[in-house]
Every structure is written in structure tokens, then in C-alpha cells.
């Protein structure tokens, strides 16, 4: 085994003449202490790379008793933390632009990570082997594992998926390392590793968040570009009922990330908030007004002009609104409008004036869920909702027709819930639906036949629902149209309405 680089880097000197010999220190601890000091001194990159590779070879070849006999867990924990910092992506200024994916600094970080990951792999293999040795066993290995688990997990989570600072080798090492770490902890999955095997058992999530806490503050979270990804990748593994005990640790960073000016960070933060909403009991969310804080943070995002963000926020709000309304009922608060009313009012205002197809599709896809959520109370918004429906039925939005399909579904929900108010709106709705049927039939564009069929089916169902709530008025009004129409496809739609009982 060639360890010349490591030997030259260490200062393993004996006592000089006349000096008292130092206290007996296990050789492995002496090596680890000096390597940690070497990396803390800020030496050049090339010597460190050689030392890391030599250290990996040393750990792989060394006897378990030599490595861990008398070794302080704190010493090994500090070395793992130092190596983790050495392999981390390059630091950046708080408001600096993101480094490009092919940046040389990120390429170098990926190489360092692959080498450090190999050291960690050899270390975990040795720890597993030491568990079965009589002179070491779990009493020696257990405290060491507890000390290194958190930093090793953060290293693996930093490099386990494709990022600008990873390459194929670093990702492979990180994936293997994560699997071995889960096995060493006696768990069957990453989720079990983080949250514990059962509700009463404490997992390693608290230790991981304790290490991330100092990097997830307002002044530091952007300095390490990997921090937000480690947090957002880890959080979904902790679900109900475990997540509620960590609410105070995960809610502030989620709000912090969602409040950034970059769209990608906003989306990342909102997804974290959505996971919290789905996996924390409503009582805990409403305590200390947390749910209201989350609601206002999400509501402010509705003024954005970015379709992916609006989509993420609306889906998240749909799961938060029932929690807020339940809390209002329990507190017997009399309010002229509910949070759902406030959101829908703003959404309809934006929909009415929106001309960008991407946003129109997002709004139209989400609108049926809001109508369903309000039920009969949708009558408070009928005037504006009618204008939106008429405007969206009129405009073709491309081959997939997502906006018109969504608005047809919203119209069906509206008719079902607010049917007593539909007869007076029958003339304008009937005209809009018939015009849309004709436009779809005569469309010579790129719209696929299955999409055309879905549009015609949706319009036909709306006509049937209107006929039911108007006591057959639609059949009467369509008699003349049906008898004079010569287009078979349009006649088929009208026939379904006429024959429906």
C-alpha cells in the first residue's frame, strides 16, 4: 500500500531529548487528529486530494482494532465534518448568481466528493465489521456511529441526485453510501432512518436538522448552494405522525426559502410548505397562528406572473384552506368572506384579464377544485365567474385545449352546485356552448381528434345539466337548431341532449 503522501503530510514525531513523552494516544487517533488539523490549516488542493485518497486506502487496509480501539468518537466525528466541508460545493455570496452547471469549481467539487465518499464507505464497512468483534462490538461502535451519522448523511444527500456539483462517480458513491448508512443504522429505508421505525422511536432527523440549522438562517442559507436541496430532499421522507414533533425546525426554513425573489426557490419552499400542511395535524398548524402565517405567504405569491409557481401555490392552498376554515368555525369567528373566497376572488380577477396561455391553463385546471370547495357558496362569485367562463370558452389554447377542458369542468361543477341560479343565465351560456361546439367541429388546426371529442363531450354534458336545472328549456330552444343542422357531429351532440331524460 503506497501512503507516501499521507506520511509526508503527518508529523508523527517522537519526544526530543530531555522532553517528557506525551500521554499515550492510540495511533489511529493521532493520525485522524493530524489529518483534521492539516485540512483546517487551509493547505493547497492537490496535497489534500492525495491525502484523502491515501486515507481511504489506510482505512480500507487497517485492522478494526487498530482503527477503533481506544478511539474517541469526537475525534472521528470532527474528521468526518472536516472532510464533509472539504467536499462541499464552493461557497457563494448571498445574492450571487447561480454558478453554471459546467463551472470548473463545481467539477472540482465533484471529484473531491467522490474521493471523500470512498473514505466514508470504507469507514462504514469497517464499523459494520467491528460490531461482530468481541473486543469492540456495539459498545464501541455505537457511540462512533451516533457521532458520524449526521455529517455522513448530509454528505450523501448533497451528492445523491444530479446537481451542478456532482458527476456520475460522486452520485454513485453517494447512493452506495446512503444505502450502507441505512443498513448500519439497522433500518430498511431512508425514511425509517430519519423518522424511526415506529412512532415512539426517535430517528436521526433531529440530528440532521441540528447540523443544517446553522446553514438555514436568513444570512447563510444561500452561501452553500446545496443546503436548500439537502433540506428539501430530506423533508419528504418524514411524514405523519412523526413530522409534527419537528414543526418548529422545518417551518421557518420552508417559509424562508419560499420568500426568496428567485422563482425556483419560491417553488422549492412552497413544496416544502405543502408537505408540512399534508403531514402535520391541523391543531398543531393552527397553534400560535402558524396556518395564518403560511396562508399569507402563499397568498402573496398569487400576484406572480410565473405559471409553474402559480400552479404549485394553488395546489398547496387547496389543502390549507380547509384547515383555516375549520379553525374559524371552532373559534366562532364571523367573517364576511372565508380564505377560500379571498383566493377565488383574486384568481378570477387575474383570470379575467389574463392573456398568457400558460397561466390561463394553470388557472383553468385549478378552478374546478375551488368551485367544488365552495359548493353552494359559489353563488357569491357567479357574476365574475360567468364572465371568465364565457371568455375562456371562446379562445382556443392550442392542441391540448387544457384551458377550455378545465373551464368546461368548472362550468359543470358550477351548474351542479348553483343550479337554482342557472335558468336566468341560460341564454348566454347556451349561446357560448353552441358556438364552441361549432368552432371545435370546424377547426382545421392541429387539435387531435381525442381532444376534440373530449371538448364536445364536455360541452354536451354542460347542456344536459342546464336542461335539467331549467326543467327542459334547453330541449325546447335546441329543437329548431337540431332540425336545421346538417353537420353530423354537431347533430350527434344535440341528439344526446334531446334524448336525455
Write out the residue range of the structural domain in which residue 27 sits. Answer: 1-92+99-186
What is the count of structural domains for the chain? 1
Is residue 406 domain-resident? no
Apex 116 CA angle, 115 and 118, nearest 5? 65
Given a contact cutoff of 8 angstroms between Cβ atoms, the answer to whether 160 and 175 are in contact is: yes
For residue 249, what pLDDT is reported? 94
Is residue 172 domain-resident? yes
Is residue 263 domain-resident? no
How far is C-alpha 129 from the geometric centre of its chain's CA atoms? 37
Structure confidence by residue, pLDDT tens digits, 108-123: 899 999 999 999 999 9
Is residue 488 domain-resident? no
The residues near 472 (Cβ < 8 Å, ≥ 6 apart) are none
| Residues of the chain below pLDDT 50 | 1, 7, 9, 11-17, 20-23, 99-102
DSSP readout, 107-146? Answer: HHHHHHHHHHHHHHHHHHHHHHHHHT-TTSHHHHHHHHHH
In which region does residue 332 sit, left (phi positive, over 0), alpha (psi from -120 to 50) or beta (all else)?
A: left
Given a contact cutoff of 8 angstroms between Cβ atoms, the answer to whether 133 and 192 are in contact is: no
Beta strands per DSSP E along 220-285: none
Given a contact cutoff of 8 angstroms between Cβ atoms, the answer to whether 270 and 313 are in contact is: yes
pTM: 0.89
Is residue 110 domain-resident? yes
Is residue 42 domain-resident? yes
Distances (CA, A) of 150 to 81, 246, 250, 399, 406: 9, 16, 17, 50, 46
For residue 285, what pLDDT is reported? 94
Is residue 426 domain-resident? no
Helices (H) and strands (E) counted in the chain, each on its own, are 24, 0
Is residue 46 domain-resident? yes
Amino acid at each position: 500500500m503506497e501512503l507516501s503522501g499521507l506520511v509526508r503530510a503527518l508529523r508523527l514525531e517522537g519526544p526530543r531529548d530531555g522532553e517528557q513523552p506525551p500521554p499515550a494516544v492510540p495511533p489511529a487517533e493521532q493520525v485522524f487528529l493530524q489529518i483534521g488539523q492539516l485540512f483546517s490549516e487551509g493547505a493547497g488542493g492537490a496535497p489534500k486530494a492525495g491525502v484523502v485518497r491515501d486515507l481511504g486506502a489506510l482505512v480500507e487496509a487497517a485492522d478494526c482494532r487498530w482503527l477503533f480501539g481506544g478511539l474517541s468518537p469526537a475525534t472521528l466525528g470532527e474528521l468526518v465534518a472536516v472532510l464533509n466541508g472539504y467536499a462541499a460545493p464552493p461557497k457563494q455570496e448571498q445574492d450571487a448568481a447561480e454558478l453554471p452547471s459546467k463551472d470548473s469549481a463545481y467539477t472540482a467539487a465533484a471529484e473531491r466528493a467522490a474521493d471523500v465518499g470512498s473514505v466514508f464507505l470504507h469507514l462504514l464497512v469497517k464499523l459494520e465489521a467491528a460490531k461482530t468483534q468481541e473486543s469492540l462490538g456495539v459498545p464501541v461502535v455505537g457511540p462512533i456511529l451516533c457521532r458520524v451519522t449526521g455529517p455522513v448523511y448530509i454528505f450523501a444527500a448533497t451528492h445523491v441526485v444530479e446537481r451542478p456539483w456532482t458527476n456520475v462517480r460522486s452520485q454513485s458513491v453517494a447512493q452506495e453510501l446512503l444505502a450502507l448508512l441505512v443498513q448500519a443504522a439497522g433500518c430498511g429505508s431512508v425514511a425509517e432512518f430519519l423518522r424511526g421505525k415506529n412512532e415512539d422511536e426517535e430517528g436521526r432527523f433531529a440530528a440532521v436538522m441540528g447540523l443544517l440549522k446553522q446553514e438555514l438562517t436568513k444570512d447563510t442559507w444561500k452561501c452553500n448552494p446545496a443546503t436548500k436541496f439537502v433540506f428539501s430532499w430530506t423533508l419528504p421522507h418524514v411524514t405523519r405522525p412523526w413530522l409534527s414533533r419537528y414543526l418548529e425546525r422545518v417551518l421557518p426554513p420552508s417559509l424562508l426559502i419560499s420568500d426568496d425573489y428567485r422563482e425556483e426557490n419560491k417553488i422549492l419552499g412552497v413544496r416544502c410548505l405543502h408537505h408540512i400542511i399534508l403531514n402535520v395535524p391541523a391543531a398543531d398548524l393552527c397553534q400560535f397562528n402558524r396556518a395564518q402565517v403560511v396562508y399569507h405567504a402563499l397568498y402573496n405569491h398569487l400576484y406572480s406572473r410565473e405559471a409553474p409557481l402559480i400552479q404549485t401555490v394553488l395546489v398547496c392552498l387547496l389543502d390549507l384552506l380547509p384547515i383555516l376554515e375549520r379553525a374559524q368555525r371552532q373559534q366562532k369567528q364571523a367573517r364576511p368572506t372565508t380564505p377560500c373566497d379571498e383566493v377565488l376572488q383574486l384568481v378570477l380577477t387575474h383570470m379575467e384579464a389574463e392573456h398568457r396561455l400558460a397561466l390561463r391553463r394553470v388557472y383553468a385546471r385549478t378552478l374546478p377544485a375551488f368551485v367544488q370547495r365552495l359548493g353552494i357558496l359559489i353563488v357569491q362569485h357567479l357574476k365574475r365567474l360567468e364572465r371568465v367562463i364565457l371568455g375562456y370558452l371562446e379562445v382556443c389554447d392550442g392542441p391540448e385545449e387544457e384551458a377550455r377542458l378545465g373551464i368546461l369542468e368548472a362550468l359543470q361543477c358550477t351548474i351542479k352546485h348553483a343550479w337554482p341560479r342557472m335558468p336566468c343565465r341560460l341564454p348566454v351560456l347556451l349561446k357560448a356552448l353552441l358556438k364552441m361546439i361549432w368552432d371545435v367541429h370546424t377547426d382545421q388546426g392541429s387539435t387531435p381528434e381525442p381532444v376534440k371529442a373530449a371538448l364536445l363531450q364536455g360541452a354536451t354534458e354542460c347542456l344536459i345539466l342546464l336542461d335539467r336545472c331549467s326543467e327542459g328549456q334547453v330541449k325546447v330552444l335546441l329543437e329548431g337548431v337540431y332540425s336545421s343542422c346538417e353537420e353530423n357531429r354537431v347533430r350527434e351532440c344535440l341528439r344526446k341532449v334531446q334524448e336525455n331524460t
